[in-house]
Amino acid sequence: MIEETWEILRLLGVDERRLRLKWISASEGAAFAEEIRSFVQLLKELGDNPFTDHRKWEWELESTPDSLGLLE
């Protein structure tokens, strides 16, 4: 199943390394922590999510404390 998901990511132009599956036992806390540290480092190196939407939505622009009457 993971291989098919990686293929879909490749087709979408997303680096397949953004998806990782690793089985870690509950008794392997140190291994889990290291895996998370490693994955976070990789994601930082890969940069922003290619599907990130940096637009401001209309409701975000209109719902300021002043526009909601919270500063009166």
Q: Specify the pTM.
A: 0.64
Digit-coded pLDDT (tens) for 10-26: 999 899 999 999 999 99
Where does residue 7 rank: exposed (0-12), middle (13-18), buried (19+ CB within 10 A)? exposed
Question: What does the pLDDT read at residue 51?
Answer: 77
Structure tokens at 24: 């870690």
Q: What gap in Å lies between CA 1 and CA 36, rounded to an integer?
A: 22
Residues 6+ apart with CB under 8 A from 32: 24
Q: Mean pLDDT for the chain?
A: 83
Nearest to 16 by CA among 46, 48, 51: 46
3-12 pLDDT, tens per residue? 999 999 999 9
Residue 49 has what pLDDT?
Answer: 82
